[in-house]
Amino acid sequence: MTTEANIPTLASLEYIPYLDEEGQLPAQFQGKVGVYAIFDNDKVLQYVGYSRDIDLSLKQHIVRQSAKCYWVKVQLSDRPSRTILESIKDAWISENSSTPASIASEASQWTDPIDAKLTMTAEEQSSYDAGDGLMQDKLLKNIARRVEQQILTQLSDRGLKMQVRFNPKLKEKGLLDLKQ
């Protein structure tokens, strides 16, 4: 646990595998508040964030960026003030020799719902443009389902055993986000 006067360096924290031997996320972070850093397979920093439920955030990140989520470092906070969490996050980013995606142009890929519309084929785009509202919703839902299957295949290939369910209402808008 930490206070503002007692910020640990990122280098001083141990790497925790993103997925354990059973294909599950680290259970010790369920409902925990703190700051976390995500690393790729080569232990290169990819993202730094903070959350009021680290477990939920880690689930969202592996769904959105599975190829970049192999290791995590976490600092729990017993006094979850935004100021302290921001201070730790900023200190870790400053400590790192390169700028992670969390503050670069890729930040939305880590935090926003997946936009399946970006994968539309030219034929799908033409059908979408020619269709009415109901037909467009149906087409977006089908595109979202296709992207969902690609994501589920990637997660399975990574060894993830956790059940992943996407919010069905967002699929009609061509978006994918975990159902909470």
Domain interval for residue 103:
10-111
Listed as own residue / partner, the contacts of 157-160 with beta carbons closer than 8 Å and 24 or more positions apart are: 158/19, 158/62, 158/66, 159/19, 159/23, 160/19, 160/23, 160/62, 160/66
For residue range 44-68, list pLDDT tens digits in order: 999 999 999 999 999 999 999 999 9
Confidence of residue 106 (pLDDT cuts 50, 70, 90): confident
Same domain, 77 and 145: no
Same domain, 90 and 21: yes
Assigned domain for 2 exists: no
Same domain, 44 and 89: yes
